[in-house]
Structure 1
C-alpha cells in the first residue's frame, strides 16, 4: 500500500505541474487513481477532489502574480458555475459515445491551429473589454463549464485556447484566467461527488498534497518562463489527449 500511494503521489505531482501550465493533468492523474483498483466513479470523484485542491492553489499563484483579470472573470465565472451544475446533472442521461469523437476532432484542430499560427498566444494584445468579446467569453465559459461537469477531458486546453482567441491574451494570462474558471467548474462537480460519497480520502488526501506542491511549482514556472514554454507544452498535451480519447474509442 505504501508503494501504491507513493507512485500515485508522484503521478499526482506531475499531473498538477503539467495542468497548471497548459491543462490536461487528468491525462496522468485519472489513470493513476484507476490503477489503485478503486471503482471508476470513486476514481473520478477522488481525482476531482485532488485536482480541485490543485486548481485552487495555481489560481492563487496566478492571481498573486497579476495574471488574472477580475473585470472579465466577474462576467464569466457565474456562467461557468451554471454550466457545470447543468452539465453534472445531465451527465448520466446522455451517451458520451459521439462526444468522444467531437472532442478528438476539436483537440486536433486546436493543436494544428496553434502549431501553424506562430504568433498566437505569444504576446498579450488585450486592450479593452468589448461587448462582443464579453458575449463570446460568456458563451465559452458556460459551454466549457457544462462540458467539464458532464465529461471533462481537455477543458483546460479549450479554455486557454478560447481565451487567447477571444480576448487576445498570451498563454500566461490565458492560463491564469482559465485556472479560475476551471476551479469554478471543478468545485461544482466536486460538490456532487461529495454528496454521493464518491471520494476515497485515504488516496485523495496524499494525492491532493502532492498536487498542491506540483501546481504551485508549475504555475511559478509558467509565470517565470512565459509563453515560449507554455505553447509547446499546450500543443503536446492537446495532442496526447486527442490520442488517448481516440484510443478509447477504437479499443
Structure 2
C-alpha cells in the first residue's frame, strides 16, 4: 500500500478537516476534498472512491453528534435510510454504464432554484420537532430520498444542499434539517463506498489519514452548528450553494 509523503500527509489532513467541518453542517465538503485528492496524482476513479471513504467517516461522525444532541427525527430518517442506501448503490453502479456529464446543466438549474428560494424565504417554520407528516409529504420525502441517493452515487455535487433543502421543506429549521440530512447522506455514502471497494477503487493509504482528520472536522463542525444555530447554518448554506453553482458553471464552460 503506497503511503503519502509527510508533506502530502499534512496537506490531506488539513484539507480533510476543513472539508468535513463544512460538510457536517451544510454539505459541499467535496469542493475541498476532491481537488485535494486530485493533487495526489491518483486516477480520477480512485479519487472518487477514496473521497467516499473520508465522506463516510465524516457523515457517520456528524450523524452520531447530531443524534446525541437530540436533533434527529428517528422514525422519519429510519424509514428513509434504506431508500437513500439503495438509490446510491444503484447510482454508483450506473455511473460505469452511463456518462454523468449530461446531469450538469440540470444540477446547476436546481441549485439556482434552491438558492433563490432560500434567499426569498425570510424565515423557515421551525423546530426539529415538527408536526406529523401527511401521507402525500411522506411519499414525496421517500421519492426524494431514493432519487437523491441515486444522484449521490451517480454524480454527487450538491447532494448535501439538496438533502438539507428537502428537510427545510418538510418543516425543520436549519439545524434540524442539517442533522437529519446527514443521516441520509451517511446512507448514500456508505452504499457508494461499498460499491467502490468492490470495484477496487479506494486507496486506503491516502483515504484513511484524510478520513481520520474528517472525523475531527465533522465533530467540531456539527457541535458548532448545534451551539450557534440557524444564524450560522443559513449563511454557510447559501455560501456553499453559491460555490457549488460557480463550480458547476465553470465545468460546463470548460
Structure 2 length normalisation: TM-score? 0.95
SS of residue in 2 equivalent to 1:118: coil
Q: Paired residue for 2:167?
A: 163
SS of residue in 1 equivalent to 2:133: coil
Question: Hey, what's the Cα distance between the residues in 1 that align with 2:126 and 2:235?
Answer: 11
SS of residue in 2 equivalent to 1:68: coil
Cα deviation digits, residues 5-37 of structure 1 (max 9, x gap): 111111110000000111100011000000111
Q: Paired residue for 2:24?
A: 20
1:76 aligns with 2:80: yes
Q: Does the CA-based 8 Å contact 2:86-2:191 persist in structure 1?
A: no
Q: Does the CA-based 8 Å contact 1:75-1:134 persist in structure 2?
A: no
Query: Matches of residues 1-251 of structure 1 in structure 2 within 5 Å?
Result: 1-120=5-124, 123-124=127-128, 126-165=130-169, 167-251=170-254
Q: Does the CA-based 8 Å contact 2:31-2:244 persist in structure 1?
A: yes
Cα deviation digits, residues 131-180 of structure 1 (max 9, x gap): 12211110110010010111111101100001111x20001111111111
Structure 1 runs (4+) greater than 4 angstroms displaced:
121-125
Moved more, 56-65 or 74-83: 74-83
Q: Does the CA-based 8 Å contact 1:121-1:231 persist in structure 2?
A: no
Question: Hey, what's the Cα distance between the residues in 2 that align with 1:115 and 1:125?
Answer: 23
Structure 2: 5+ residue runs without aligned partners?
none
SS of residue in 1 equivalent to 2:139: helix
Structure 1 length normalisation: TM-score? 0.96
Question: Hey, what's the Cα distance between the residues in 1 that align with 2:25 and 2:58?
Answer: 12
RMSD between superposed Cα atoms in Å = 1.2
Structure 1: 5+ residue runs without aligned partners?
none
Q: Does the CA-based 8 Å contact 1:122-1:227 persist in structure 2?
A: no
Q: CA deviation at 1:124?
A: 4.7
SS of residue in 2 equivalent to 1:93: coil
SS of residue in 1 equivalent to 2:72: coil
Q: Does the CA-based 8 Å contact 1:121-1:227 persist in structure 2?
A: no
SS of residue in 1 equivalent to 2:96: helix
Q: CA deviation at 1:122?
A: 5.9
Q: Does the CA-based 8 Å contact 1:20-1:58 persist in structure 2?
A: yes
